[in-house]
Structure 1
Amino acid sequence: MTTMAANPSTAAFDRIWLKSYPAGIPAEIGASMAPSLGVLFERSCQEYRDRPAFTSMGRSLTYGEMEAATRAVGAWLQASGLRKGDRVAVMMPNVLQNPVAVYGILRAGMTVVNVNPLYTPRELEHQLADSGAKIIFVMENFARTVEQVLPRTGIEQVVVTSMGEMLGLKGHIVNLVVRRVKKLVPAWSIPSAILFKTVLSQGADLKLGAAEAGPQDIAFLQYTGGTTGVSKGAALSHANLLANKQQIALWLNAAFRNRERPERLTFLCALPLYHIFALTVNSLMGVALGANNVLIANPRDIPAFVKEISRYKVHIFPGLNTLFNALMNNKDFRALDFSSLVLVLGGGMAIQKPVAERWLALTGCPITEGYGLSETSPVATVNRLDTRDFTGTIGLPLPSTDIDIRDEDGRSLPLGDVGEICIRGPQVMLGYWQRPEETARVMSEDGFFRSGDMGFMNPEGYVKIVDRKKDMILVSGFNVYPNEIEEVAMSHPGVLEAAAIGVPDEHSGEAVKLFIVRKDETLTEAEIKAHCSANLTNYKRPRFVEFRADLPKSNVGKILRRELRG
């Protein structure tokens, strides 16, 4: 380990942010944690047995029912021949089967590989092959994608479920509508696939063995672009996620200073559970607190979303700027009773001040902005939860978290100077899965993770993001890397050169714009967009395409994206 910079003038070494902490919030989280996420889950199931844990389309599973279902999944996985640490993929939206599969995998001592269900075959193949996943749980809507890549992966068993499978009698109607009316299930054929309900029935007759997963074992491989465009798995240990859960739980205490804490909390889970934000802040925090998570499978269907949430008294709502904005533009949402709202958390992308002001005026509950990454489990900083003020910052470092602002040579910068935001704490990942060179690139010798985000710290310890170090584009909270977009574009035979940048977008924060130099002069914008649609999931697809005779380059021939951004 190297010594820290001489005479450091930023906050990481004197923790000036502590003076801005709410009263009673400790500087450190302490050491009393469960040994694994599986054990934490089991304890909650015992303590809150009769409470609802997850609710979807009006159907709830209690903690007791979750315990039985996850025990069956875990026992089935162990009986299938998988061992501790083996990777199991989950490719589902927010349906009840998702947390059942995830916590079943964890209880079996295995590692969860979260997969975006909207991935194209190209994207899915990379993730499954890179992770070495042996089993995948997938909803039938996306089984066709799995079928297309199966021979080129190490997947040994596919478990398929349907949208309505755990919804009781109502599920038959849901499946009929999804399959026949909306035609959302493309034809697929995987002869060896088995049904999720078969896993549950077979597992119910099996014994779940001791998982023996320890704090430093990998709980999740959370795939991200990191600081380059190659998708890689952030290896998050049980200790990483348990620490972040404890950090958030301590911070949460301030939210109830001025309001009575409900005996039973209800979370609104509109963000996808495969995303690290919802995984930790909704699912893990909800389980730890004995709360109910109301799952929204398709938050883009705003009318259906509003109708669903009108049935519940929601206390905690994590979301994105784009989602808050879309909801406020719906007249039925504006007519809801917001008196139960205690905490609205904004992350994934910057919260715009006009959106925050409109939300507060409408609901009476402020949006509290925080910040994190897949590599930090995710939460690193949050604004105070006992104030209604919108600071325009990403807040203060959580307990046991250090933030340092550093220059390109790794030296600490004075307060107010802009540099790279570097993070150290128990929530920082073990490293990138099987990529030691990439891990070394983002981890300093003194244990700080280089975020790739540029910002500064003010004298009160609040951190403000001003830019990104890399060319990464942020679309509705998802990282999009120009390299990947360009590589896909260049695979079209009619493209000579390609460059991708982010441009401002009022709905998604940023949108992808693609510049093309044609090899084939007859190439059209529609053809480029169709090619990208076949190879990139929705949020990565270029919204705008501009054809040019040439692209700006450096003297060594590197395309200068900054000049394209103007």
Structure 2
Amino acid sequence: MDDNQALYQGSTVAELYRSAFKGFAEREALVGGATRWSYRQLEEACHRMVRCFRQMGLRRQDGIAVLATNRPESVAAIIASHLMGLRYTPLHPLGSEEDQAFVLVDAGVKALVVDLPRHEARGLALARRGLVAHLLTLGPAPFGTDLLAASAGFDGSDIEIDVRPDDVLKIAYSGGTTGKSKGIVHHQRTVVTSALQQLAGWEWPAEVRFLAATPVSHAAGAMILTTLLQGGSVHLLERYTPEAFLATVEAERITASFLVPTQIYGLLDSPALDRRDAASLGLVLYGAAPMAPARLRQALERFGPVFGQVYGQAEAPMTISYLRRDEHELARPQRLGSCGRSLPGNQVRLLDAEGREVAVGEIGELCVRGPLVMSGYLDRPEETARAFAGGWLHTGDMARRDAEGFLYLVDRAKDMIISGGFNVYSSEVENCLAQHPAVALSAVIGVPHDKWGEAVMAVVVLKEGAAAGADELVAFVSARKGVVNAPKVVEFVPALPLTALDKVDKKALRGRYAPQGGGVSFLAQAMASRYGE
């Protein structure tokens, strides 16, 4: 790199972490289980791991994967990979062995870090495959090398950082079956941009005590750096339950957290909510899936104006748009269905199938430009070209924009149902069902139908002690959204399948109720029984 290039180069994630470590050395940085680390202690733990990695022969831009739980040692391993300039890949904590093995090969991973004890069995299975040069465990195990023991003898003093702005920071994998998942490549600029947008656009409390209640390998991990840059503390919840969340908030006086909608619904429906003091919460970020406005209203009435909605996706993480706390106005209920306005630094357009911007109030695909956007899909040039068609990242999310610039997601393009030639947006039907007093949670899917192409099906969880029949819910939606949007069949279940991130797993629902490969589907049988078709 010549002097002129160096003059204008951007920062790296490693430099941001170092500035936080040096700026707040004696403050509490990381809390999990019985561990309470200061910034200095966290920095030293990371430096020891870096020196250990280097002795093993790992070099800048080698690939490292982490199968993690929410504990301090996992966070230290992830930060150490960033300080060393490794290409970090998080493994899905509930992924199958075949999917995880595929990722290790596809990403060219040289070292795999396995957290114990939860992932010991999977770590052993992957070890037997011999896919990586170094299999490291966070604690003693009958396989691999104990990273904690191996790094304990190394010096924790400052290390030389050789990380460059054009380095790949992370390769994250989209959902999919083995051989079909895509590696999403992010260079340093993506995470640096997201961190700066979080700092500038989100209303953080004066003292940040952030509770990571979702996996640090996914959404919660994106807020660790931002918390540390403010001199705050990160508290790790190893496994989310409403009781565990509320107990930690009360005990640690938590001021900020990130939750997905189903977790918020669980809090609202939990008896523990009346027994615990959650008054310290100043900012509850939510996102990763649509939240029903009716339930959001309940949350605002119960917790107060502490909610901020984030919108992003793996290809442009966390900070495409934001709905501020003061924009969650109960007096303007339509606003509760918005994901906010685009954050500075992002260009956002709603485009039709020909790449033309749609008019205010019309529905188009939400497309993004800017430094937040991924570099592309790993070794998938054709899929990268499709995602970047016309010079925009095509998110696959259908949305409309009002005259004030607020964005309203109506559905994922793949979740939109076309029934009898009409577009049905599943999220709108779910939002309608959420207004029924007996409904705790619902998922609406489209399933094949000989006459209509697709039919609308609702899978519903009722609130404890509540009762409602299928005909009642169908009539409820028909009266509010019209007969086209009304479910043709309603299936009641005790719980909906969730992903590792506590999002409703519609893919699993489609597999259950609309299996591929022919045969008579559940829906066809139910409709034949109901309508005599």
Q: TM-score range by the shorter chain?
A: 0.7 to 0.9
Quote the residue 2:32 is aligned against.
56
Quote the residue 1:344 is aligned against.
284
- Taking structure 2 as the reference length, the TM-score comes to 0.75
Quote the residue 1:19 is aligned against.
none
Quote the residue 2:131 is aligned against.
154
Quote the residue 1:289 is aligned against.
230
The 5 A counterparts of 1:329-368 are 329-368=269-308
Rate the CA distance shift 1:271–1:548 in 2: closer, same or farther, 3 A. closer
Matched, 1:139 2:111: no
3-state DSSP of counterpart to 1:452: strand
Runs (4+) of structure 1 exceeding 6 A deviation are: 31-34, 226-229, 472-475, 499-502, 547-550
| Residues 533-561 of structure 1: CA deviation (Å, up to 9, x unaligned) | 9xxx99564597358998499xxxxxx9x
Quote the residue 2:150 is aligned against.
199
Matched, 1:237 2:187: yes
Matched, 1:91 2:31: no
Matched, 1:418 2:363: yes
Could you tell me how far apart the structure 2 residues matched to 1:47 and 1:80 are? Answer: 31
Quote the residue 2:216 is aligned against.
273
* Identity in percent: 23
The 5 A counterparts of 1:299-310 are 299=240, 301-310=241-250
Matched, 1:323 2:267: no
Give 1:309 deviation, angstroms. Answer: 2.6
Quote the residue 2:373 is aligned against.
428
Could you tell me how far apart the structure 1 residues matched to 2:102 and 2:382 are? Answer: 19
Give 1:222 deviation, angstroms. Answer: 1.3
**One-letter code aligned to 1:122:** E
**One-letter code aligned to 1:292:** S
Could you tell me how far apart the structure 1 residues matched to 2:14 and 2:366 are? Answer: 32
Aligned residues: 440
Rate the CA distance shift 1:500–1:64 in 2: closer, same or farther, 3 A. farther
Could you tell me how far apart the structure 2 residues matched to 1:420 and 1:549 are? Answer: 27
3-state DSSP of counterpart to 1:158: strand
The answer to whether the 8 A contact 2:31-2:236 is kept is yes
3-state DSSP of counterpart to 2:119: helix
The equivalent position to 1:210 in structure 2, one of 160, 169, 181, is 160
The answer to whether the 8 A contact 2:285-2:309 is kept is yes
**One-letter code aligned to 2:285:** L
Rate the CA distance shift 1:505–1:269 in 2: closer, same or farther, 3 A. farther
Could you tell me how far apart the structure 2 residues matched to 1:246 and 1:133 are? Answer: 29
The equivalent position to 1:43 in structure 2, one of 19, 23, 38, is 19
The 5 A counterparts of 1:159-198 are 159-162=136-139, 189-190=142-143, 193-198=144-149
Could you tell me how far apart the structure 1 residues matched to 2:516 and 2:31 are? Answer: 54
The 5 A counterparts of 1:64-143 are 64-140=40-116, 141-143=118-120
Could you tell me how far apart the structure 1 residues matched to 2:231 and 2:106 are? Answer: 35
3-state DSSP of counterpart to 2:251: coil
Unaligned runs of 5+ in 2: 1-6, 417-425, 431-442, 446-453, 463-498
3-state DSSP of counterpart to 1:545: helix
- Report which structure shows greater RCO (CA 8 Å, sep ≥6): 1
3-state DSSP of counterpart to 2:252: coil
Quote the residue 1:456 is aligned against.
400
Could you tell me how far apart the structure 1 residues matched to 2:457 and 2:151 are? Answer: 45
The answer to whether the 8 A contact 1:420-1:452 is kept is yes
The answer to whether the 8 A contact 2:47-2:80 is kept is yes
Give 1:470 deviation, angstroms. Answer: 2.0
- Taking structure 1 as the reference length, the TM-score comes to 0.70
3-state DSSP of counterpart to 2:99: helix
What's the C-alpha RMSD, in Å, of the aligned pairs?
A: 3.6
Rate the CA distance shift 1:85–1:506 in 2: closer, same or farther, 3 A. farther
Unaligned runs of 5+ in 1: 1-30, 166-187, 483-498, 508-532, 554-559
**One-letter code aligned to 1:389:** E
The answer to whether the 8 A contact 1:72-1:199 is kept is no
